[in-house]
Amino acid sequence: MGHVILVTGGARSGKSSHAEARVAALPGERVYIATARPEDDEMRARIAHHIARRGPGWLTLEEPFDLAGALDRTDGRGPRLVDCLTLWLANLMFADRDWSPEADLLIAALARQNSPVVLVSNEVGMGIVPENALARAFRDAQGWLNQRVAAMANEVEFVVAGLPLRLK
Amino acid sequence: MGHVILVTGGARSGKSSHAEARVAALPGERVYIATARPEDDEMRARIAHHIARRGPGWLTLEEPFDLAGALDRTDGRGPRLVDCLTLWLANLMFADRDWSPEADLLIAALARQNSPVVLVSNEVGMGIVPENALARAFRDAQGWLNQRVAAMANEVEFVVAGLPLRLK
Amino acid sequence: MGHVILVTGGARSGKSSHAEARVAALPGERVYIATARPEDDEMRARIAHHIARRGPGWLTLEEPFDLAGALDRTDGRGPRLVDCLTLWLANLMFADRDWSPEADLLIAALARQNSPVVLVSNEVGMGIVPENALARAFRDAQGWLNQRVAAMANEVEFVVAGLPLRLK
């Protein structure tokens, strides 16, 4: 199985930069699988910031839903960076799709890859319980998704203030 | 003194599962001390999920307020799992009871136990400052309570994505 | 260069106590640089609590904006405790000042100090995305500021339940 690395952390914790550095250190063509959809100015600014930081030398793919397919289609080329599981989960939930079978598909795909995959995700459960029921459901789903990916990953890192803590 | 273990982490971080595994690895009758009160559908679903996961072989006790008494009454039988301090604190605060002397009673009880105790708690202070004053007061109380229990515990673990980090 | 230590963590995680203990262990006159402004009762209570805990033997300076100047003016006396970067950032943002050049000035000042500096900051990015745009901007700025200070610090500690985890 290709090496699977999960990089998790808070918003603006430096997890994407760290995940990019992990991918850049691996041989082969680097593939960036973006789950973000540039639907508002804030998101467009964030995406532009990430593209500028990565620089040239990356193949970029936009895939808001079918991560399993994107991984299968790019396997064998080189290391893939999936940034990020949180937006992927949000895309599924806003489209009223059940995230749990989609997570099964993702995990099955990760298990059959030959090239490495680095996945970025967010910690969203360390604040006060949200008053909004959808936010609570999202928080639960994100926590369970992170646990499932972490359970099958070869390495898990938790990033705080740009510095990785090895969890596994 | 019986061994005291604090397991803390975010919502849906896998802390209850991890705490259950710690208790299950200890000899003697396993006692589950539940602080949750099944007052709405969301909470009932969460409790049912936890009961299903634990399986048989646990004595279950519901105790929303008097944790010191519940610990004293079950001491000597085997390891106890207290799940969780966050709901206990919420029960106290919603009943307009001062949590601080209750925390003193809990800590005094922990110090006199002969059988081990594993306590689950939440990290709630790593989001943006809540706009609601009650939420801010809760966040403060939870942080102070965690510090007090951690200071006297023999072991403290911080769970992220299902993986424990040893803090003490 | 004087030793620079960043102590980060959630609200009520015990980070200020831990940072004070780090400063107290260093030789020389201890200087407390407070960024809080006692503008409401909640903040006044918090400040009084911190002052009571520190006890005598500290020189206290209030500096809501010009941290670089405060550091330069107190260099050579002994270790300084800056508590905290989160309130400093909030002061800048509520005054409509751009935090990024201010962060450059702070980092340049840190790099030229001869006496040690311990800085306290908050993790605010591990909750659900705030609905409020200003809260999102604050969360981003705090995350970036923590990364920048962490990158140049000699030591970084993450405090959970009063217990420090060494990140760097």
Give kind and range of the element (H or E) at residue C109.
helix C99-111
C100: how many CB neighbours lie within 10 A of its CB?
12
Tokens of A133: 């029921």
Interval A28-52 mean pLDDT: 82
Question: Tokens 């099964």 map to which residue?
Answer: A104
**Residue B161 region, left (φ>0) first, then alpha (ψ -120 to 50), else beta?**
left
Output A61-67 pairs: Cβ under 8 A, ≥24 positions apart.
Answer: A61/A31, A61/A32, A61/A33, A61/A34, A62/A34, A62/A36, A62/A37, A63/A33, A63/A34, A63/A35, A64/A35, A64/A36, A64/A37, A64/A88, A64/A91, A65/A91, A65/A92, A65/A95, A65/A97, A65/A102, A67/A33, A67/A35, A67/A106, A67/A109
Closest chain C residue to A87 measured between Cα atoms? Answer: C129
Q: What is the pLDDT of residue A43?
A: 72
CA dihedral A35, A38, A43, A48 (to 10 degrees): 90
Q: How far is CA B50 from CA A19, A167, B26, B44, in A?
A: 34, 24, 19, 10
Question: Tokens 């990364």 map to which residue?
Answer: C147
Question: CA-to-CA distance for B38 and B27, rounded, in angstroms?
Answer: 30
Cβ <8 Å between C125 and A10: yes
Report the alpha-carbon angle B121-B159-A8, nearest 5. Answer: 130
The dihedrals phi and psi of C88, each to the nearest 5 degrees, come to -60, -45
Which of B128, B146, B165 shows the shortest C-beta gap to C139?
B128
Q: What is the pLDDT of residue C42?
A: 72
**Residue B97 region, left (φ>0) first, then alpha (ψ -120 to 50), else beta?**
beta
Model confidence band, residue C124 (pLDDT cutoffs 50, 70, 90): very high
Tokens of C38: 């006692």
The domain limits of chain C are: 4-166
Q: Which pLDDT tens digit goes with each residue over C63-105?
A: 999 999 999 999 999 999 999 999 999 999 999 999 999 999 9
Interval C124-135 mean pLDDT: 95
Q: How far is CA C18 from CA C3, C5, C46, C158, in A?
A: 16, 11, 16, 10
Report the alpha-carbon angle C109-C113-C117, nearest 5. Answer: 95
Cβ <8 Å between A129 and B165: no
CATH class of the structural domain A4-166:
alpha beta
The number of residues in chain A equals 168
State the best of A147, A158, A166 to mutate against chain B, taking most chain B CBs within 10 Å. Answer: A147
- Strands, DSSP E only, in chain C? 4-9, 30-34, 58-62, 80-83, 117-122, 155-160, 163-166
Q: Is the pLDDT of residue A39 over 90?
A: no
The dihedrals phi and psi of A155, each to the nearest 5 degrees, come to -140, 145
Cβ <8 Å between A161 and C165: no
Q: Considering only CB atoms, which chain C residues are within 8 Å of A11?
A: 125-126, 129, 139-140, 143
Query: What's the gap in Å between the CA of B124 and the closest CA on chain C?
Result: 8
List average pLDDT for each run of 10 residues in chain B, which is 168 residues long: 94 97 95 86 75 80 96 96 97 96 98 98 97 95 98 98 98
Determine the 3-state secondary structure of A74 from DSSP. helix
Q: Is the pLDDT of residue C1 over 70?
A: no
Interval A24-49 mean pLDDT: 84
Contact between B82 and B121 under an 8 Å Cβ cutoff? The reply is: no
Q: Higher pLDDT residue, A50 or C70?
A: C70
Tokens of A147: 């646990």
The dihedrals phi and psi of B86, each to the nearest 5 degrees, come to -70, -45
Contact between C86 and C38 under an 8 Å Cβ cutoff? The reply is: no
Chains that touch C (3 or more CB pairs under 8 A): A, B
Q: Which residues of B touch A (CB under 8 A)?
A: 9-14, 42, 123-128, 130, 135, 138-139, 160-163, 165
Question: CA-to-CA distance for C165 and C168, rounded, in angstroms?
Answer: 9
Q: Which residues of A touch B (CB under 8 A)?
A: 6, 8, 10, 121, 123-129, 133, 136, 139-140, 142-144, 146-147, 149-151, 156, 158, 165, 167-168
| Average pLDDT value for chain C | 94
Query: Residue A76's Cα: distance from chain center in Å?
Result: 19
Cβ <8 Å between C14 and B129: no
Contact between B93 and A128 under an 8 Å Cβ cutoff? The reply is: no
Which of B123, B129, B139 shows the shortest C-beta gap to C160?
B123
Active site residue B50: yes
Cβ <8 Å between C127 and B127: yes
Helices (H), A31-114: 41-54, 67-74, 85-94, 99-111
**A168 annotated binding-site participant:** no
Which of B11, B42, B139 shows the shortest C-beta gap to A143?
B11
Contact between B153 and B3 under an 8 Å Cβ cutoff? The reply is: no
Q: How far is CA A20 from CA A54, A82, C150, in A?
A: 7, 10, 19
Tokens of B159: 């769970």
Cβ <8 Å between A146 and B130: no
The dihedrals phi and psi of B83, each to the nearest 5 degrees, come to -135, 105
Q: Which pLDDT tens digit goes with each residue over A111-162?
A: 999 999 999 999 999 999 999 999 999 999 999 999 999 999 999 999 999 9
Which residue type is seen at A109? A
Q: What is the pLDDT of residue B74?
A: 97
Q: Considering only CB atoms, which chain C residues are within 8 Å of B151?
A: 162
Strand order in the sheet with A117-122: A58-62, A30-34, A80-83, A117-122, A4-9, A155-160, A163-166
Cβ <8 Å between C126 and A128: no
Q: Is the pLDDT of residue C148 over 80?
A: yes
- Strands, DSSP E only, in B4-83? 4-9, 30-34, 58-62, 80-83
Q: What is the pLDDT of residue A1?
A: 67
Question: CA-to-CA distance for C122 and C140, rounded, in angstroms?
Answer: 12
